[in-house]
Amino acid sequence: MEAVAAAALVASTIPDSRIAIDPEDGPREPLPELPATLRRSAMLALHRVLQDGSEMATGWVDSADADQWRHEVQQIIETLALPTDH
């Protein structure tokens, strides 16, 4: 759960990101510019979360919501993979 939240925060700092963090759930202060290396680490963590048999994929998500959850995690991965030429 923390890995997905942290990756979403990293993704939200990318220019033109479609990932928005609800102000009620996010940090109180704007995030500083984050090192580019965090993007790769966040992507690797999310790929692990999505793996078959991962605790999060099997235990934390209700089966009715599993497809939506996986789609949202995939959107974060796609944002993290955007080129850094901004």
pLDDT for the residue 54: 73
Where would I find the H helices in the chain?
2-12, 37-50, 55, 66-80
User: Does residue 46 or residue 1 have the better pLDDT?
Assistant: 46
Distance, in Å, from the CA atom of 21 to the CA atom of 19, rounded to the nearest integer, reads 7
Neighbour count for residue 24 (Cβ, 10 Å): 5
pLDDT, average across residues 4-20: 91
In the DSSP assignment, the letter for residue 46 is H
pTM, two decimals, is 0.82
- Tens of pLDDT, residue by residue over 28-75, are 888 888 888 999 999 999 999 888 777 766 665 566 677 888 899 999
- Give the DSSP H or E segment for 80: helix 66-80
